[in-house]
Amino acid sequence: MSRSRTIFVITLGGILTAGLLILSFSMAVKSISSNKSEYVKTSWINVSSQNDDWKITIDKIKTEKVETNKNKYSYTIINNNPVLKERDDYYYRTVIYVEIKNKTDEDLNTSAPDGLFTLIDGNGNHRTETGSTMNAYLDGVPFNGQKIGAQSVTKAKLVVISNKNDFESKNSRIIIPNYYINGSTNDLISGGDFKFKIRDIKTKSQN
């Protein structure tokens, strides 16, 4: 092989190698850029509200921008599938992490509550598991037929979905219905309307 041809082959090999490196770098940058486009915001709340029978603590709130077509999350919707059809191509999924303590010495039956577990956000939207619009729907409602043990703590993830990043946590409320004492059809433990005075919020955002 002549010297000029050898140089040409080496040069061509170098160009191909450089091209592959540039392509790999471009794909890596694109991947990083794609990941950064996913919006996630976490706010640490750690605020409690209580009465004689219950104590509820909001631990943190996490909001995430979700692509609808990827079906990343499932929802337990009761007879109101149109709620999910309201979603745009991207929507916001807000999870409110709560702890609910039954302060009584009674086991409670939640299969037939007197009322609905309700989240009222700071904008005044009343959200329940039977809500027929996104502004009225709440997923992740705890208990649903399960027994609540005496002096027990239940961790729950209350889920709100919206086409706007507009969930307002300040001045939010949680309403717990009345539950029957386990084994009784007459004796009730009262629930309550719990208001949360949320002021200082430590927030971390990821874009």
For 8-54, the pLDDT digits (tens) are 444 545 554 544 444 444 444 443 334 444 799 999 999 999 999 99
Element spanning 13, H or E: helix 3-36
What is d(CA 138, CA 150) in angstroms, rounded to the nearest whole number? 26
* 68 or 23: which leads in pLDDT: 68
What is d(CA 193, CA 35) in angstroms, rounded to the nearest whole number? 40
pLDDT level of residue 202 (50, 70, 90 thresholds): confident
User: How large is the average pLDDT for residues 103-120?
Assistant: 96
Predicted structure pTM score? 0.80
Beta strands 147-148; 40-50: pairing state: unpaired
What is d(CA 177, CA 170) in angstroms, rounded to the nearest whole number? 22
- Mean pLDDT of all residues in the chain? 84
What is d(CA 175, CA 40) in angstroms, rounded to the nearest whole number? 27
Instruction: Please give the radius of gyration of the chain, using alpha carbons only, rounded to the nearest integer.
Output: 26
What local confidence, expressed as pLDDT, does residue 200 receive? 63
**Which amino acid, one-letter code, is at 37?**
S
Q: Are 104 and 175 in contact (CB under 8 A)?
A: no
Q: 24: which 2 tokens?
A: 């790999």
Element spanning 26, H or E: helix 3-36
Q: 12: which 2 tokens?
A: 């061509």
| Token pair 């450089």: residue | 18
